[in-house]
Amino acid sequence: MDRRTFLSATTTTALAAGLPRLARGSANDQVNVGLIGCRSMGFSDLNSMLRTANVRCVALCDVDSNILQERATQIANATGTAPSLYEDYRALLDNTDVDAVIIGTPDHWHCLQTIDACEAGKHVYVEKPLANSIDECGLMIQSAEANRRIVQVGQWQRSGPHWQEAMDFVHSGRLGEIRTVKSWAYMNWLKLIKPLPDEPVPRGVNYDLWLGPAPEKPFNRNRFHFHFRWFWDYAGGLMTDWGVHLIDIVLWGMLAERPNRIMSSGGPFAYPDGAMETPDTQQAIYEFDGFSMLWEHAVGIGLGPFQRSHGIAFIGNNGTLVVDREGWEIFPEAENGEYKMSGRPRRRAGSGERGLDQHTANFINAIRDGETLNCDIQTGSLAAVNAHLGNIALRTGATLDWDGERFTNNRAANRLLRPKYRSPWKLPG
């Protein structure tokens, strides 16, 4: 058993010993869910979770009252039940009817809200990336374990059958020694984001609560809602958006946890006059024991390696396995006119494969009967930490040596491990 499997197994065992009333029950047990952050992926998570039998939405929370009312109407129409509505997530956590919460807020909120939810006795489904900094990930793990809460991270590819099948093949050893793994995201849907002037806060938005622990800044539509992810105060760009999903598969396939050395380069090469702070073009190299990982992303174009907009390529001495959200295939190596292994035509994801639905159902089943999580908080933290390592290497412009907790050769990089929260918000101890 590798270390990560051991950690996951022991965490699951420890949690199962002290779960609340719904755990280890039956499919007839009702699970009451509350959603914090209703606009985008959080609402998709909620709708997915409601497809599992006997799951009920009892509460919604959002700092934008316009979105909150819209989602409340949609839920009432779909389920016949009107949820309780909240502007402040702490009031939702006080609701004793809520068994579990979905956290779909911007990344800079994930740490506080997850820890507060665990301390309030709620199970948590938190969107990826787990946190907006490396040190926050560790604090969240400690809280989940101390409070014996189930925490699933929204890296839903872990629950997809074709992803699991591809990883089984990687683990079989048939590719031979894997020396390099490439992962990439070429996003042609992301075009120029033009700079916009600051403006008054829109009616119905509690902007101070939206900022929360992030630095105080004037309201700007480019930093709000979906586009928050392109600004360092709130997120980590494509690296922590798509990168977390795909780097997660690298770590899964290679049974790896941490690199020893990281370097990265990139910048606003596609749109030098755009509003994004995070790079629209980036490459990062991670040196692990026995193999290297390459990450790259680009916006405005969609033709990446192997003619795929996104994917992971496990490059072995006998052949290369390429997997993306559409399926997986094998390209064999040849020597002296003969293939070293059999190739494999693309195995496409099946019509019944609904990765998000299977992922949210896995979370509910873990609450009800102790089913093992496909992406528990420790597993989710590995992908988040590796993504942040690449961003820190980019922002410092240095080749960084990493011992698993700190950088051993760069003080400036260590200062980026932990955020400084805006008063009165405090980073949990």
Q: What is the pLDDT of residues 142-166, one digit of tens each?
A: 999 999 999 999 999 999 999 999 9
Name the phi and psi angles at 393, rounded to 5. Answer: -65, -40
| H, E, C per residue of the chain | CCHHHHHHHHHHHHHHCCCCCCCCCCCCCCEEEEEECCCCHHHHHHHHHCCCCCEEEEEEECCEHHHHHHHHHHHHHHHCCCCEEECCHHHHHCCCCCCEEEECCCHHHHHHHHHHHHHCCCEEEECCCCCCCHHHHHHHHHHHHHCCCCEEECCHHHHCHHHHHHHHHHHHCCCCCEEEEEEEEEECCCCCCCCCCCCCCCCCECHHHHHCCCCCCCCCHHHCHHHHHHCCCCCCHHHHHHHHHHHHHHHHHHCCCCCCEEEEEEECCCCCCCCCCCCCEEEEEEEECCEEEEEEEEECCCCCHHHCCEEEEEEECCEEEEEECCEEEEEECEECCEECCCCEEEEECCCCCCHHHHHHHHHHHHHHHCCCCCCEHHHHHHHHHHHHHHHHHHHHCCCEEECCCCECCCHHHHCCCCCCCCCCCCCCC
pLDDT digits (tens, 9 = 90+) for 53-66: 999 999 999 999 99
Return residue ranges of the chain for CATH 3.30.360.10.
161-349+384-410
Strand order in the sheet with 344-348: 344-348, 327-332, 319-324, 310-316, 178-187, 291-299, 281-288, 261-267, 400-401
| H, E, C per residue of 172-199 | HCCCCCEEEEEEEEEECCCCCCCCCCCC
Are the beta carbons of 237 and 229 closer than 8 angstroms?
Answer: yes
Look up tokens 């994801």; give the residue: 349
- If phi over 0 gives left and psi between -120 and 50 gives alpha, with beta otherwise, what is residue 172? alpha
Q: Which tokens in the block code for residue 141?
A: 């793990």
pTM of structure: 0.93
Tell me how far apart the alpha carbons of residues 69 and 356 are, in angstroms, rounded to a whole number.
25
Q: What is the mean pLDDT of the chain?
A: 93
Look up tokens 């909620």; give the residue: 46
The mean pLDDT value for 378-404 works out to: 98
Nearest to 317 by CA among 327, 303, 332: 332
Tell me how far apart the alpha carbons of residues 154 and 242 are, in angstroms, rounded to a whole number.
12
* CATH number at 3-158+356-376: 3.40.50.720
In this structure, how many other beta carbons lie within 10 angstroms of the beta carbon of residue 226? 10
pLDDT value of residue 8: 42
Q: Which tokens in the block code for residue 128?
A: 């990826």
In this structure, how many other beta carbons lie within 10 angstroms of the beta carbon of residue 191? 12
pLDDT over 70 at 6, yes or no? no
Look up tokens 């939405």; give the residue: 57
* CATH number at 161-349+384-410: 3.30.360.10
pLDDT digits (tens, 9 = 90+) for 155-194: 999 999 999 999 999 999 999 999 999 999 999 999 999 9
pLDDT band at 26 (very low <50, low <70, confident <90, very high): low
pLDDT value of residue 349: 85
pLDDT over 70 at 4, yes or no? no
pLDDT value of residue 27: 62
pLDDT over 50 at 21, yes or no? no
Q: What angle do CA 16, 18, 22 make, to 5 degrees?
A: 75
pLDDT digits (tens, 9 = 90+) for 323-373: 999 999 999 999 998 999 888 888 888 767 789 999 999 999 999 999 999
Return residue ranges of the chain for CATH 3.40.50.720.
3-158+356-376
pLDDT value of residue 16: 40
Name the phi and psi angles at 215, rounded to 5. Answer: -60, 150
| Least confidently predicted of 11-20, 305-314, 342-351, 352-361 | 11-20
Q: What percent of the chain clears pLDDT 90, i.e. is strictly above it? A: 89
Comparison of pLDDT for 392 and 336, the residue scoring more: 392
